[in-house]
Every structure is written in C-alpha cells, then in structure tokens.
Chains A and B, each alone.
Chain A
Amino acid sequence: MAKSRRVRAALALLATTSLLVTTACSKSDTPSGNELYKNPVTITWWHNFNTDGEGKTLWAKIANDFHALHPTVTVEVVPIETNDLQRNRLPAALLTNDPPDVFQAWGGGEMVEQVAAGYVKDITDLVQPEVASIGAAAKIWSVDGKQYGLPYNFGVEGFWYNKDIFKQAGIAAPPTTFDDLKADITKLKTVAGVAPIAVGAGDSWPAAHWWYNFALHDCSASAVQAAATKQKFDDPCFIKAGDDLKSFLDLKAFQDGFLGTPGQTGAGSSAGMVANGKAAMELMGHWNSGVIQGLTADKKVPSFLGWFPFPTTSGTPTPSTVMGGGDGYSVSKKAPPEAVEFLKYLVNLDNQKAFAATGAGIPVVKGAEAGLTDPNLQAISKATQSASAVNLWLDTQLGAKAGTPMNTAIVAIFAGTGTSQGVVDALKKATAQ
C-alpha cells in the first residue's frame, strides 16, 4: 500500500511540474501587442563590430537611444569578432535555452538551417514596410518567402588598395581587366617591403573568396544556382575555377606565410597589412574599410585607401553576377516582441543614414546612401546597385556543413597540396555525408 501511495504522490508531483512548465512556456509564447513596452525587458544583442571604431560607437548609441525612447527596454550590447561569432559562439548559444534576442545573421544556408531548427522568429508580418524599403537585398534574409531577419549593411566584394603604393609602382589607374591586374602585380613587386596582395588565408574564408570570384566568372548563373540550391557541382566550370586560382597563385602575388595570416585580427592580419602599408591590396567585402580603420594607429580610414571592383576576365563576357553579401540581424524565437521593434528601429532611415556616415558599411534602406561620405563606400554602393544580381558568399549560401570543407579544399590549393578536383570532391563529399 505504501508503495502505491508513493507512486501516486510522484505522479501528482510530476503532473504539477509539467503543468507549471507548460503554463510558464505558454505565457512567454503568447505576447500580445498591447503589452509592448509595458514590462521591463532586457534585450541581448550580439553583433560583430568588435573593433573600436565609429561603427561600434554608433551601435552603442543606438542601443542607448532606444532605451531612452522606451525606458522599459534595456539593450545589452555584446560585440564579438565576426568569425568567432558565426562559427563558434552563435551555434552554441542557439542550442541553449538562453540565446541572444537579436543576433548577427548572414542569410543563406546558415539561416535555412537555423529556421529549420526553429531558432528564428518569423517576422514577415511585422516588417513589411522595412522590407519594401530595403528591396531585393532583404530576400537573402528570407526563407521560403518568409522574412527571418533584416539587413542593415549590404555590398559587393572588391579590391581595397593603397593608392600611394600603386603610384609608387607607376600604376596610373586601378585595373579593369584581369590582364591589367597581372601586369600591375609585376609592377608592384618592384616596391620593396610590400606584398602586392594580402590574403588572410589562415582564416580559410578570405582565401576561399578568391575561388568564389573565379567560379562566378567561369560559371553561368544557372550553374551557380544549381550548386547552391540543388547541390550539383558537376559543371566543369567549377574545375576551371580551381585551375584559374592555381595559375594565379603561380604569380606569387600574395604575402609570404599567408597560411598563418589571419584576416582581420591584429596588425599582422591581411587587413592590418593594408592598413599599415605592408600590402598594396586585398580582396575583401565591403566591411573592410571599417576593419582597416580599427587597425590603424589613429583609428581613421587611411587617406590612401581606394576601392575597385573585381576585374573582368578576358574571354568571358562581363559578369553580371557579382560576389557579395551583407550583415543583418535575426530575432530569436523566444525573444520578447520589443526585440523586433528594436530591429525595426535599427534600420530606420535616420539610423541607416547615421550608419552610412560612420563609413563602416553600405546602408540598405533607400535614401540612406546619401549619408555615405566615404568615396570608397559610394563606389561600392554604386557597384552594388549596378550589378544585375549579387550572389551571396558561397560558404554562407551553402551552409557550414558544405561551406567549411569547401573552404578547406580551396586552402589546400593555396598550400600547394590541393587540386581543382579536390574542391569539387569536398563539396560532393560534404553534401553526401
């Protein structure tokens, strides 16, 4: 008898506990609109402006402004180095019960995975005006027609170069064709103590971007689309991309010891080399002026910094699809409704103009580009608008599972041990696994 009484007590306890749990959950899951700004909430915000600069300052200011506007909302700002954030911190945090409310999102395959796992809030109905104002770029932060985030920064990739060093080497204008680029590299080699091109191959992805750009030049739009969406890599253009990269590496244009060079951290990184006049140029996304700014002694964008788009290869028609990407934010599923309001506030015209003025990136909301003062960013903004299509970074588009092995296989080509076939094999292997 005693036994059954104990069992009954245990069952009762279990029932109460589960009742408590369900009520607790259902309560937090049903936010009603009129409760907005009623209860004090703290929003944690993970972003990647980790180096000191105007971008980091502005983000802190926006968080404070929002708090001043809505005193019930406190925004806890957590800046984290981008690669660490994307590859290590976010995947771990999203697995827990306490993910950041607003977090950096790059779109593409990663977002598809996050949405499938149920981490991200569907904000389609809440952000329609913002999406309309942002236009096509907002699509990268959507999955199956539903909006799971908003960009604040979007642009195409190109070369960041040192005008002074180019002048020193006797180069009048930045190259427009690939043959020009090769000729310029030969000229740049005559400048002592300077590497023609810096690449942060130690972090893998900066090296991989070279292959992506060759692939975009060698492949038709449909071949790239088939690779990204159907994971088909049989088109010979992907082999040719590797061959092109190999013959480019034979020029020995990159700095010595590039496999140990990080992309963005410290004076010895590839961005640091450009910032400190140790390299003439670097192929990098539109955020690079913000990174370079943070790696100079005076924390200002150096006056010698220029930008030109990836040159066209002879033989192939002018590419209409350009490699690019951007930064956005998603809201985690359990975040309070105020988090969505904060995201909308973040991309309003005033804040986008203020963001443009920092020189840390390219704003996405129409009209905000008027706030761009930096001539390089104006050039990128123009190039982004004139491109008929922008293809997201391939590793982001494919997601971590295929993106990471692909980048490693490309790095193997840089190391001299990999083959063009190796990249395609790695992609096929990763998607088969």
Chain B
Amino acid sequence: MTSVTQTVDPADRAIARPAGPRPVQVSKASRERRKWFEIIGLTAPAFIIFSSFVLLPIGFAAYYSLFRWNGVGWPHEFRGLYYYFGEYGALRDPVFRSSLRNTGIVLVGSLLLQGPFALAIALLLNRKFRGRAVFRLLVFVPYVLAEVTVGVIFSQMLQYGGPANSLLNSLGINTIDWLGNTHVVIWTLLIVLTWKYTGFALILFLAGLANVPDELSEAAAIDGASWWQIQRHITLPLLGPTIRTWVFLSMIGSLQVFDVVWVIASRAVRGLGAGSVIATYMVDNGYTSHLWGLGNAVAVILFIISFVTALLCQRFLLRRDVDGALSGRVS
C-alpha cells in the first residue's frame, strides 16, 4: 500500500504543475487511470522478463517432460508421465535415487560442517587482533574462486598418484582413492564443497556479528560472564536471523549444486550414481543421452523439491525474521 501512494505522489505533483496551454483540470477518473498506467508501466518490464525467462521456461520444461523428444523440432511423441513413473522413468532409476541420496548428503553435510565451522571462525575473527583482515581474506578466498577453477584444482590434487596422496603417504597414511572409489567420492565432493562455501557462511556471520551491539557483551562482562557465556547467551541468539538466512541459502544452493561435482566426479562415477547429484544426473541422462523428455522430467522434479523446500523454509524457518521485517517490529 505505502509503495503505491509513494509512486502516485510525484505524478500528482507533475499534474499540479501547469504544463503548456492545457488547463489543470484533472478529473478523478483520469487521475485513477493515470495511476494504473503508471502501475502497469512500471511493473510491466519486470513482469514480462519474469514471465518469459522464469515462468515460461518452467512451463515448457513441464510440457517437454511429457514427450519422447531428442531436442530437434517440436515434440510430438506424447508419453504422459512415463519419464517420471514409467518403467525407465527417473523415479524408478536406481542411479537417480543415488543422485537424490547424494544431494541429500550434500545438503545435510553442508549444514552440519559449514555452519559450526564458519561460526567458530567468525567468533574468533570477530575479536580484535593483528592481521585480522588477512585471516578474513584467506577464509573468504575459496568462495571467490570460480567453481570450475576449484574443480580443476581439486581433481588434479586428488588424483590417485597426485599430491594429496603423496602428502598422506609421507605422513604414513595409506593412499585414498578420492575420485575413483565409489564409496568415497561423494565424501570427497562434500569436503571440497565445504572448503569452497564455508567462506560464504563466514561472511554472512561476520556481517551479523557486526550488528551485535558491543554494549551487551560489555555489560555481561562487567557482570562477570565468561567469554564463552557471552557467546552462548548473547551473541548466538542475536545472530539467529543471520544463521537462519544462511541455512535457507545453503539448502537451496545444495539442491542445485552442479559445477564442482561436474568437474571433479568423472563421467564413470557419475554414471554409476556414486558421484552424481540431481543436476548432473539431469545433464548426463537428459542432455548427453539425447533423452530430453527425461531431462526435463528431472528438471521438474528438482524444481518441485527446491520450491517445496523454499516454501517450508519461509513458513517455519524464516517466519520470525520475515514477520519482524514486514511489521517493523524490532526483535
């Protein structure tokens, strides 16, 4: 509501200014019409872009997923929900189920590893000491690197006869088949993803910590609270909104992870389901194998999973934060 009145205001002023020979007599109806022109005019570009680049492709994906189609011409071989539930449909493919499981591992693992890890570093880096900026930069660097760069670096380092294993051997630890062992590769990916995205959580947490007033911890310190007690009872609760936002972003990011997995996991381990996630399964089976119907079905499934997750997060996780923001209530 407020935004509407705001946009009308300058228009009213413009009308009030005598412009040219036209008299300043503006009926209520024409002012109303002008208001709607403005609303439509201002929202139309965003609406058109949103529909043609977001809503329409989603609709097309759902439509294509009902056809057997090799990507050439217009699809005409209708298959219904075959690519979802059929004999060779995605949901009955063990490799797709492995991809779902792997995506779940990435999602939960990212939350369990990155969250505490980033929080610990953030609390440490929030204290004042020499070279703090350098340390902050160091932790944040992996996040700035391109995903493909990270993938190439790690796929070279983690090769069977590569530097990572040489290091382990010199420490007396047996060689680990990081990239080729079908039981290990998903954990390798999780480690790389953790290395890459902890910096993102960290930067959010540091920003959140900057908003925690020093007075509170100072007062607590005067009352005799230890550093640990201050963090536990003052800093962490005040960091809640930031942490919840990060959880949401991390979950959505995990569901859609692609690049790092694509570069590090070989075609072989992806094909076996050991190193594939939903997005790589979609490309491997839909795109590379020319089964566009299947690929689009997987895209729709991924969209539904992400959408439901986002809704659930908004409903339960972020409700308090979003409510506060909208009603202007300060928590």
Query: Interface of A with B (CB < 8 Å)?
Result: 87-88, 91, 95, 113, 116-118, 201-204, 207, 255-262, 266, 268, 278, 399-401, 404-405, 407-408, 411-412, 414-415, 417, 429-430, 432-433
Knowing A201-B268, A415-B272 touch, does A261 contact B70 (C-beta < 8 A)?
Answer: no
Chain B residue nearest to A402 (CB atoms) is B289
Q: Verify A256–B71 contact, CB threshold 8 A.
A: no
Q: Verify B185–A260 contact, CB threshold 8 A.
A: yes
Q: Does B156 sit at the interface, judged by CB under 8 A? A: yes
Q: Verify A261–B160 contact, CB threshold 8 A.
A: yes
Complex alpha-carbon distance, A268 and B180, angstroms: 13
Complex alpha-carbon distance, A412 and B182, angstroms: 10
Specify which of A88, A95, A117, A256 lies most central, judged by the most chain B CB atoms within 10 Å of its CB: A256
Q: Verify A95–B290 contact, CB threshold 8 A.
A: no
Q: Verify A259–B182 contact, CB threshold 8 A.
A: yes
Q: Verify B288–A404 contact, CB threshold 8 A.
A: yes
Complex alpha-carbon distance, A273 and B71, angstroms: 38
Across-interface contacts of A266 in B (CB, < 8 A):
156, 159
Nearest-neighbour CB distance to chain B for A115, whole angstroms, equals 11
21 contacts across the A-B interface (CB closer than 8 A): A201-B180, A202-B180, A203-B266, A203-B268, A207-B268, A256-B177, A257-B159, A257-B160, A259-B179, A259-B272, A261-B160, A261-B180, A261-B266, A262-B266, A268-B162, A278-B161, A408-B268, A412-B272, A415-B268, A429-B88, A433-B291
Q: How many residues of B contact A (CB 8 A)?
A: 34
Chain A residue nearest to B161 (CB atoms) is A268
Nearest-neighbour CB distance to chain A for B289, whole angstroms, equals 5
Knowing A203-B267, A429-B88 touch, does A260 contact B290 (C-beta < 8 A)?
Answer: no
Chain A residue nearest to B269 (CB atoms) is A259
Chain B residue nearest to A400 (CB atoms) is B290
Knowing A256-B160, A412-B272, A415-B272 touch, does A202 contact B179 (C-beta < 8 A)?
Answer: yes
Knowing A202-B180, A404-B289 touch, does A433 contact B272 (C-beta < 8 A)?
Answer: no
Between A and B, how many residue pairs show CB distances below 8 Å? 116
Complex alpha-carbon distance, A235 and B139, angstroms: 59
- The 8 Å CB contact of B179, one of A257, A405, A415, is A257
Judged by DSSP, the binding face of A is helix
Across-interface contacts of A202 in B (CB, < 8 A):
179-180, 266-269
Q: Verify A260–B160 contact, CB threshold 8 A.
A: yes
Knowing A91-B290, A268-B162 touch, does A407 contact B180 (C-beta < 8 A)?
Answer: no
Across-interface contacts of B178 in A (CB, < 8 A):
260
CB within 8 Å of A: which of B153-183?
A: 156, 158-162, 175, 177-182
Nearest-neighbour CB distance to chain B for A333, whole angstroms, equals 13
Q: Does B75 sit at the interface, judged by CB under 8 A? A: no
Q: Does B222 sit at the interface, judged by CB under 8 A? A: no
Q: Verify B272–A261 contact, CB threshold 8 A.
A: no
Complex alpha-carbon distance, A404 and B180, angstroms: 19
Q: Verify B271–A259 contact, CB threshold 8 A.
A: no
Nearest-neighbour CB distance to chain B for A211, whole angstroms, equals 13
Across-interface contacts of B289 in A (CB, < 8 A):
400-401, 404-405, 430
Q: Does B134 sit at the interface, judged by CB under 8 A? A: no
Across-interface contacts of A257 in B (CB, < 8 A):
159-161, 177, 179-181
Complex alpha-carbon distance, A278 and B161, angstroms: 10
Across-interface contacts of A405 in B (CB, < 8 A):
289
Chain A residue nearest to B289 (CB atoms) is A404
Nearest first, the 7 A-B pairs at minimum CB distance are A260-B179, A257-B160, A202-B266, A260-B180, A408-B271, A259-B180, A268-B159
Complex alpha-carbon distance, A262 and B161, angstroms: 13
Starting from the known contacts A95-B71, A266-B156, A407-B271, 19 additional A-B residue pairs (CB-CB under 8 Å) come to A88-B288, A117-B72, A203-B267, A204-B271, A207-B268, A256-B180, A257-B160, A257-B177, A259-B268, A259-B269, A260-B160, A262-B266, A268-B162, A400-B289, A404-B271, A404-B289, A408-B268, A415-B274, A432-B88
Knowing A113-B290, A400-B289 touch, does A204 contact B156 (C-beta < 8 A)?
Answer: no
Q: Verify A417–B182 contact, CB threshold 8 A.
A: yes
Q: Verify A268–B271 contact, CB threshold 8 A.
A: no
Nearest-neighbour CB distance to chain B for A123, whole angstroms, equals 21
Complex alpha-carbon distance, A408 and B284, angstroms: 11
Q: Does B68 sit at the interface, judged by CB under 8 A? A: yes
Please encode chain B, from 288 to 309, with 1 for each CB lying within 8 Å of some chain A CB and 0 for all others.
1111001000000000000000
Specify which of A201, A203, A408, A432 lies most central, judged by the most chain B CB atoms within 10 Å of its CB: A408
